Amino acid sequence: METALTKLVGVRHPVVQTGMGWVAGPRLVSATANAGALGILASATMTATELRRAVREVKSRTGAPFGVNLRADAADARERVRIIVDEGVRVASFALAPSRELIAELKDAGVVVIPSIGARRHAEKVAAWGADAVIVQGGEGGGHTGDVATTVLLPQVVDAVDIPVIAAGGFHDGRGLVAALAYGAAGVAMGTRFLLTSDSTVPDPVKAKYLEATVKDVTVTTAVDGLPHRMLRTDLVTALESAGRVRALTHAIRRASAFRKISGLTWAQLVRDGLATKHGKNLTWSQTLLAANTPMLLRASMVEGRTDLAVMASGQVAGVIEDLPSCEELVTRVMDEAARVLAALPSAQRIPFPSSGVDDP
């Protein structure tokens, strides 16, 4: 299936595996790439040295195009951009809008720039700055999310920009791909669906929690870091929602200390990251610290396998996913189902649309 996305990045199928922290590592990304979709390596939870090592591991596992997800506001963002350019990575994606200068630097080096956005105005801004495409995530998507449904946000963005739009938030199968194409998208991006594959390194007990979840077990809360965050409801979420300020601050400091040791950040850098998140938002200090070390909360589940005191970011589609296929099986299934759905659609020539009478002779 050829679309503006497949032509832009050189993959066989218009499917993207999103850059999920602690999840989208070399194994998942290379398996996705070998399946003909676009795998995106998550770098926010890596040091620059680890990122270069991870990129080289992906390259040793596949010759297909792949991407790297960056934090545009990271202190070492330009160093990471140089790694992407030096290593010949095809795509750079961003969770936050990159600057005009950063986009230009990447494009001058031949890198395709695809920011993720959650509002029409953000898409218009990055398109004006030269982004090659955008990933549009509706409120059904996992992690930090907005409150506008994909079915409303997607057509808004498609109408607003003249670059390829990739739909995210609520997609997991071939029917969703066909629906996204009907809205005018060039493909779909999926996070939770790729997390729940046999190629994902997420521990089995955590995968089991996702598979057990119903759509009502996936909640949006501001208790973790003060921002709307879609995740599975866990003991941690319930505790934070009911905790007083002192208890929440104590918990945040303990988690921040652990993340600081793993990440190599200083307390000053950790607080700076938290304040950057706090800017323009009415966050408590405990939420500010939690915002800075949310990666640690994710690591507890996605790496350590903690299902009790951890954050498990999740799209709402977790409630309808029931198996763990390989990436190859998943992508093949999505594309085969999309082909069947397209073939089953009634031909426009055979549909007896009633005339409005406006243009009748």
DSSP secondary structure code for residue 12 in this structure? S
Average pLDDT over residues 249-277: 63
User: Can you tell me the distance from the alpha carbon of 315 to that of 220, in angstroms, rounded to the nearest whole number?
Assistant: 10
CATH of domain 4-203+321-341: 3.20.20.70
pLDDT band at 361 (very low <50, low <70, confident <90, very high): very low
Range of weakest confidence among 42-46, 82-86, 128-132, 264-268? 264-268
pTM recorded for the entire structure: 0.88
- Judge whether residue 123 has pLDDT over 70: yes
pLDDT value at residue 253: 66
User: Can you tell me the distance from the alpha carbon of 13 to that of 2, in angstroms, rounded to the nearest whole number?
Assistant: 7
Q: Which two tokens stand for residue 196?
A: 């729940």
Burial class for 248, CB neighbours closer than 10 Å (0-12, 13-18, 19+): buried
User: Can you tell me the distance from the alpha carbon of 17 to that of 21, in angstroms, rounded to the nearest whole number?
Assistant: 12
Q: b/e per residue, 275-285, with b = 16+ CB within 10 A? A: eebbeeeebee
Nearest to 297 by CA among 356, 248, 339: 248
Range of weakest confidence among 96-105, 183-192, 211-220, 241-250? 241-250
- Mapped to the 3 state alphabet, what secondary structure does 48-97 carry? HHHHHHHHHHHHHHCCCCEEEEECCCCCCHHHHHHHHHHCCCCEEEECCC
Task: Choose between 173 and 297: higher pLDDT.
Answer: 173
Q: Which two tokens stand for residue 34?
A: 């070998």
Query: 19: how many CB neighbours lie within 10 A of its CB?
Result: 25
How much of the chain, in percent, has pLDDT values that exceed 90? 71
pLDDT digits (tens, 9 = 90+) for 54-82: 999 999 999 999 999 999 988 899 999 99
The answer to whether the CB of 156 falls within 8 A of the CB of 145 is: no
pLDDT band at 360 (very low <50, low <70, confident <90, very high): very low
Nearest to 314 by CA among 235, 229, 236, 255: 229
- The DSSP element (H or E) to which 231 belongs, if any, is strand 229-232
pLDDT value at residue 356: 53
pLDDT value at residue 290: 64
Report the residue count for the chain. 361
| Domain coordinates in residue numbering, the chain | 4-203+321-341, 214-302
- Judge whether residue 256 has pLDDT over 80: no
Q: What dihedral do alpha carbons 250, 255, 258, 259 form, nearest 10°?
A: -140
Most confidently modeled range among 67-76, 163-172, 217-226, 279-288 = 163-172
- Judge whether residue 304 has pLDDT over 60: yes
Average pLDDT over residues 43-47: 92
Neighbouring-strand partners of residue 92: 68, 113
Instruction: Write the DSSP assignment of 258-292 as a string of letters.
Output: HHHHHH---HHHHHHHHHHHHTTS---HHHHHHHH
Burial class for 152, CB neighbours closer than 10 Å (0-12, 13-18, 19+): exposed
Most confidently modeled range among 94-103, 128-137, 297-306 = 128-137
